[in-house]
Homo-oligomer: A and B are copies of this chain.
């Protein structure tokens, strides 16, 4: 082995006085080699600071022990900022992957991009996790391609009808139902909803359904006038709240389809001299880190990103290993802080 070059298994073999094949087996603790040999080989390997070449190993064994995380960014969002909720997910997924002995390849995708992008990644990983506020409708075709190519993938998001592949999501309906229920229990009757009610984003649509359901059950009419579309950004929440205010619509509470929008909305209310929670109660969804630091601390629907990351990774690995996996929904929990007061 010339000095400076990376040692190969042949170098180890030579130094340990065995064949290269034996080195390979010994290093992976194969029961086919004697304990003695194994110890000998491993000690030489350590001494030479030898590391298996992953490319060669993966090529030969046709697997990568790598998971890919495809993060679909909101195309409208500011380039420099990532949705904090996904950031939290990312962190937890990374951890879960590591705990399961997998590497994690992270890649940002623009929804608008050439669908080949996903395949590209797929050749470098055994499976992939798709993360994004699921405008899955617009890339259903891509998913179909993936499924067709026998790719292993799991989607973070709601279970959408006819959607190929497996998914894991949060029970959005239940979450927003609980949040709305909370507002109703506080005596509110005129409750607005900020967040898209189009099929463009199934998450928000489902959250809207939870809201509707709660109101309906309580015998409160769902007033279309009190629902305003917005996408998942602070500025959108701000604008939506402005609109509500400008139109002079009457309401004492708002449920926002995400914390980011809630933050924007609260800002708008404050700027217009409305007290939160005094004049208007606000609930959010996601429980991003900022939610607890805000003024007032935001009452919101908590999603367990730790559990989600763990399950996403574990289910994907099952998929890779050929085991059956059920798509499922995680239960959210309402965390009550200070952004909601009783209707007076």
Contacts and interface: CB of A to CB of B under 8 A. Distances in A.
Interface of A: 4, 49, 51-56, 58-59, 64, 66, 71, 79-82, 84, 87-88, 90-92, 94-95, 98, 103-108, 119-124, 145, 149-150, 263, 289-290, 293-296, 305-306
B120 A51 contact: yes
Contacts of A106: 94, 104-106
A233 B92 CA distance: 18
Nearest to A149: B49
Q: How many copies of the shown chain assemble into the complex?
A: 2
Given A4-B150, A56-B59, A92 B108 contact: no
A212 to B, nearest CB: 29
B91 A87 contact: yes
A49 B119 contact: yes
Contacts of A305: 80
28 contacts: A4-B150, A49-B149, A51-B119, A51-B123, A53-B59, A53-B123, A54-B124, A55-B55, A55-B58, A55-B59, A55-B64, A71-B94, A79-B306, A82-B91, A87-B87, A90-B90, A94-B106, A94-B107, A95-B108, A103-B121, A104-B105, A104-B106, A104-B107, A106-B106, A289-B289, A289-B290, A293-B294, A295-B295
A103 B64 CA distance: 14
Contacts of A81: 289
Contacts of A4: 150
A65 to B, nearest CB: 10
Nearest to A95: B108
Nearest to A103: B105
Given A55-B58, A59-B56, A263 B123 contact: no
Contacts of A95: 79, 108
Nearest to A304: B80
A108 B98 contact: yes
Given A87-B91, A289-B289, 11 more contacts: A51-B122, A54-B123, A54-B124, A55-B55, A55-B56, A55-B58, A55-B124, A66-B105, A103-B121, A293-B295, A294-B294
